[in-house]
Structure 1
Amino acid sequence: MERPRKNSEEVRTATVGVVIARTGRLARLGDPLAYAMELLAPKLPGLRLVGRDSASTADGARRAVRELVEDEGARIMLTLAGTEVLPAVADTCEEAGIPCLSSTFPWQVYYYGRGATAQRPFRWTYHFCWGLDDIAETFADLWEAVGGTGRTVGCLWNDGPQGTWSRHEEHGFLPAARARGHRLVDPAGYREPSTGFDGHLSAFRDEGVDVVTSAATGTDLGLFRRAAAEQGLRPRLITCSRWLAYPPVPTATGEPPQADVATLVYWTPAHPYRSSIDGMTAAELAEAYERSTGNQWLQPLGLAYALFEVAAHALATAGDPTDPAAVAAALAATRLETIAGPLDWTSGPVENIATVRLAGGQWQRGRAHPYELAVVHNRRVEGLPVDGELVPPA
């Protein structure tokens, strides 16, 4: 891919390309990113923010990157995306020599899953997120809150990337959970979408499982919960790391599958963080989003906003913002207090990575909204209040 030629306008205005899912199955993930782009465009003089739809597919993501680089002259690429789309954006940028910044994807999957090693890190692509080990530590806190140490935990993991990386013996969820003293029961991974969980339920009963952990879609989680109830398996707690960033939607047939499921908390209006751009607080951002869209705030909103904070910082501190190598070097040197918390690429677990702190939460019946995310356990996010108690799943 050829890099666009510089002209006088490009020197004065740096273009930030944004790959957004506006159609397809990831469109809800695109909502907070689109909102953050619209909100921040007038607050970032000297930057031109241009988006392209990934259509929620890897091919669409690659096409969006090419259009943003070749047609719009993008100097840096931003994205929030899913299991197939985010790597496609990052890999296309790595091949093209264009700096890229992304989030909402466990860092081990982003890093090792794309082929990087300690001896061979990426040159152009950077990321901030939590890790699979952070998920395991957070969930172990929740398991122990309902039953103490040494829980027998049933794993509802698929045969795709979520399950494969969760059970990875070196970089996954499994070793971190075992290190906390918990015994994990992991039947064979299931194919999505699942048609049934008889094998899992049988194994969980035989092994005395009293807690279930999952990376299932909402549909598969609902199928499992209905089947478990029919067979009399009632775990003391269900934890799930996937599709729980969004508020549950009540259904005509009863409770949504996410109700009373414990999950990750990575951003809320109560987080004690401010924008590095204009001082906006997390609470003010959530309120502005709800007022503008009419929709309940979403956890990815804080990370979407932070993408633009880091991009603006990198372009402002780069020796030459029109030089991709200078922008990449600025990303690698970034230490910044953002609305998503402190981000530091100089001391990450590996090169190219900054981490996000996690707390434990649960979707519970709310007051302002049908379901609200209660922070029920927190020892890793200083200043974030606990505002609920764990309740057993119905």
Structure 2
Amino acid sequence: MPEPSAGERRSLTVGVVAARTGRLARLGDPLAYVTGLLRPRLRRLVNGGREYTVRLVERDSRSTAEGARQAVLDLVHGEGAGIVLTLAGTQVLPAVADTCEAAGVPCVSSTFPWQVYYYGRGADDTTPFRWTYHFCWGLDAIAEVFADLWEAAGGQAGTVGCLWNDGPQGTWSRHERHGFAPAARARGHRLVDPGAYPEPAADLAAHVTAFAEAGADFVTSAATGRDLALFRRQAAALGSPPRLITCSRWLAYPPSVTSTGERPAQAGVATLVYWTPVHPYRSSLDGTTAGELAAGYEQATGRQWLQPLGLAHALVEVAAHALRTAADPTDRHALAKALAATRLDTIAGPLDWTTGPTPNIATIPLAGGQWQRGARHDYELAVVTNRRVPGLPCTAGLVPTG
């Protein structure tokens, strides 16, 4: 087939919204790194025999919902972005997706439990979104993995203290249909929920006391590093530290991201594992392995790899796939249709938007991990349960939180 001439080439713009300033800036590092890494590799792509030039253009969300909305509008109206990518931020990610939905621009996002993304933004089982697509795990999947961890630590169903805030994390964890709680109870665990605490927390002694009185061996949360550190101090002072703490959200990231200026809140905490250097996945773009991506990030930045790194890379893979397979990559409707039909093996694992659990959503499986003393970093994320992720090795055994 002859090479397309310069006159036949057209330009495609992929917009990237990442936090580069503000409180989420460290969580924006993986997406910013991947954007820089892949920009030179995606300058050209071919769809239907026609070659297109591709631009990856990044804008800062400033770690706020308003900054996220402005970033999308700048990308769409100022840069001509035909598809937008983003991850991270309880307020920021929905703001990006909602702005894209309103503007009629395809969006792909990740690192946000899919029930909160889907139902929390107003969709339901019969009325999906038109433009916005997401891949992630669910609150029910977190509960299943945490139940695996509780049972590994206790040998049977137990009593679990729920340290849940008054924000979206706590509200959706409690949701009786789409939340964490019903899935955990279905495994036979008794949940003790003394009520929501305001974030940031000033005092969690009432939660410590309630858990001790209920005989809770385990505590589960989605706390910030600061708030979990406060809970652990108060539990130790009252002589009632839990046997095991399971925590998602911020505690899925290395201590350097959630530093409290003392012993890391992560120390001994068990958490969800969605991507590591030992995951058995490769990039659909060039065959890069999970281990190679993590090593390259650490070498280039001097910082410990973060789990969102693999998902950030997969975002770009999905965008490239949609641009290559759409009936017309310059047409937003065609791109949205291509996303809805996407089935792709990525560096974050196999993604399939054709099978649900709802329209607009592809899921990724979770393993269980624990922050343990490491050889290369003070604390490293060990894989301690793996039955839900084929081919993923366990790298350590589970130990009490202490």
Using structure 2 for the length normalisation, give the TM-score.
0.94
The CA deviation at 1:294 is 1.1
- 1:331 equivalent in structure 2: 339
Q: Deviations over 1:157-216 (max 9, x none)?
A: 001100000000000000000000000001110001101112211211221111000010
- 1:103 equivalent in structure 2: 110
Question: C-alpha separation between the residues in 2 aligned to 1:359 and 1:255?
Answer: 25
What letter matches 2:39 in structure 1? A
What letter matches 2:287 in structure 1? G
**Alignment pair present for 1:269 and 2:267:** no
- 1:20 equivalent in structure 2: 18
1:30-69 → structure 2 map (5 Å cutoff): 30-44=28-42, 45=44, 46-69=53-76
Aligned pair in 2 of structure 1 residues 293, 57: CA closer, same or farther (>3 Å)? Answer: same
Question: C-alpha separation between the residues in 1 aligned to 2:348 and 2:377?
Answer: 23
Equivalent position SS for 1:71? helix
Aligned pair in 2 of structure 1 residues 277, 109: CA closer, same or farther (>3 Å)? Answer: same
Aligned pair in 2 of structure 1 residues 252, 324: CA closer, same or farther (>3 Å)? Answer: closer
Question: C-alpha separation between the residues in 2 aligned to 1:254 and 1:323?
Answer: 52
1:279-294 → structure 2 map (5 Å cutoff): 279-294=287-302
What letter matches 1:116 in structure 2? A
The CA deviation at 1:245 is 2.9
**Alignment pair present for 1:78 and 2:76:** no
Runs of 4+ in 1 over 2 A off after TM superposition: 8-11, 249-254
The CA deviation at 1:60 is 0.3
**Is the 8 Å Cα contact of residues 245 and 300 (structure 1) preserved in structure 2?**
no
Question: C-alpha separation between the residues in 1 aligned to 2:383 and 2:334?
Answer: 40
**Is the 8 Å Cα contact of residues 142 and 360 (structure 1) preserved in structure 2?**
yes
Equivalent position SS for 2:337? helix
Question: C-alpha separation between the residues in 2 aligned to 1:253 and 1:107?
Answer: 33
What letter matches 1:123 in structure 2? R
What letter matches 1:126 in structure 2? Y
From 231, 241, 262, the equivalent of 2:248 is: 241
What letter matches 1:26 in structure 2? L
Q: Deviations over 1:266-296 (max 9, x none)?
A: 0001000000000000011011111111111
Residue identity over aligned pairs, in percent, reads 73
Equivalent position SS for 1:199? helix
**Alignment pair present for 1:149 and 2:147:** no
**Is the 8 Å Cα contact of residues 248 and 363 (structure 1) preserved in structure 2?**
no
- 1:387 equivalent in structure 2: 395
Question: C-alpha separation between the residues in 1 aligned to 2:31 and 2:38?
Answer: 11
Using structure 1 for the length normalisation, give the TM-score.
0.96
**Is the 8 Å Cα contact of residues 11 and 322 (structure 1) preserved in structure 2?**
no
**Alignment pair present for 1:200 and 2:207:** yes
From 218, 222, 227, the equivalent of 1:211 is: 218
Q: Deviations over 1:3-52 (max 9, x none)?
A: xxxxx999712100000100001101110000000110111123210000
**Is the 8 Å Cα contact of residues 225 and 266 (structure 2) preserved in structure 1?**
yes
What letter matches 1:141 in structure 2? D
Question: C-alpha separation between the residues in 2 aligned to 1:254 and 1:321?
Answer: 51
Query: Mean Cα displacement is larger for which, 252-261 or 101-110?
Result: 252-261
Q: CA RMSD in A?
A: 1.5
What letter matches 2:283 in structure 1? S
- 1:5 equivalent in structure 2: none
From 113, 119, 123, the equivalent of 2:126 is: 119
Equivalent position SS for 1:116? coil
Gaps of 5+ in 1: 1-7
**Is the 8 Å Cα contact of residues 24 and 89 (structure 2) preserved in structure 1?**
yes
From 274, 286, 290, the equivalent of 1:278 is: 286
- 2:49 equivalent in structure 1: none
Q: Deviations over 1:58-87 (max 9, x none)?
A: 000000000000110000000012110000
**Is the 8 Å Cα contact of residues 263 and 361 (structure 1) preserved in structure 2?**
yes
Equivalent position SS for 1:13? strand
